[in-house]
Copies of this chain bind each other. A is one copy, B any other.
Amino acid sequence: MSKETTLSSEMLYDGRIMKLYKDSVELENGKTSEREYIRHSGGASIMAVDEEENVYFVTQYRYPYAAEVFEIPAGKLEKGEEPLTCAIRELEEEAGLKADKFELIATVYPTPSYTDEKLYVYLATGLTETEAHLDEGEFLGVEKIPFEKAYSMAVAGDIHDAKTLVAIYAYAARKARGELR
């Protein structure tokens, strides 16, 4: 197996949601190279599907794209937090929902060349509406959309967020193949 050995590691930035590192590494051919990457606490996200197969989405201004992005509810893991605990919390905070059942459908590496983030994607069913209560400084809109409409949006190229595309297409595949439990 290929491997890269750390020769030295330097933290260049210690931020609010990320740390940036630059490491010197030895490659498998003995040469030296640099690796610059983010360390991130990870996150949990939830595709919540109700009895009529509506799905709950949030739209949120995402500064790096200078645009509102259409996503499933999600949030960062707190230090030492279990992904499922985070998923339960974020689903209630962002979408005002409780769920009877959470199924982990993927553990996603968003862009493996420069972040160590792990993003857990859950399918939540057996929903009960409660009340959303957003964090200070968090602004988002919640939309309940029939699954088939969301699927059409994905196919049309109107959905971009990675976790949201994984969730929609994984659900669509399982549904069409008769594999939904």
Contact = CB atoms under 8 A, between A and B. Distances in A.
Nearest to A20: B20
Interface stretch (A10-18, A79-87, A93-101, A124-132): A10-18
Contact of A176 (B71, B157, B176): B176
A69 B139 CA distance: 35
Nearest to A69: B112
B31 A137 contact: yes
Number of copies: 2
Contact of A170 (B13, B137, B165): B165
Contacts of A173: 151, 169, 172-173, 176
A106 interface: yes
Contact of A18 (B27, B28, B36, B112): B36
Q: Is the interface of A mostly helix, strand, loop or mixed?
A: mixed
A22 B114 CA distance: 18
Interface in A161-181: 161-163, 165-166, 169-170, 172-174, 176-177, 179
Contact of A157 (B2, B107, B157): B107
Nearest to A33: B137
Contacts of A111: 110-111, 115, 117, 119, 162
A23 interface: yes
Contact of A16 (B36, B118, B151): B36
Interface of A: 1-4, 12-13, 15-18, 20, 22-23, 25, 27-29, 31, 33-40, 60-65, 68-69, 71, 104, 106-119, 137, 139-141, 151, 154-155, 157, 160-163, 165-166, 169-170, 172-174, 176-177, 179
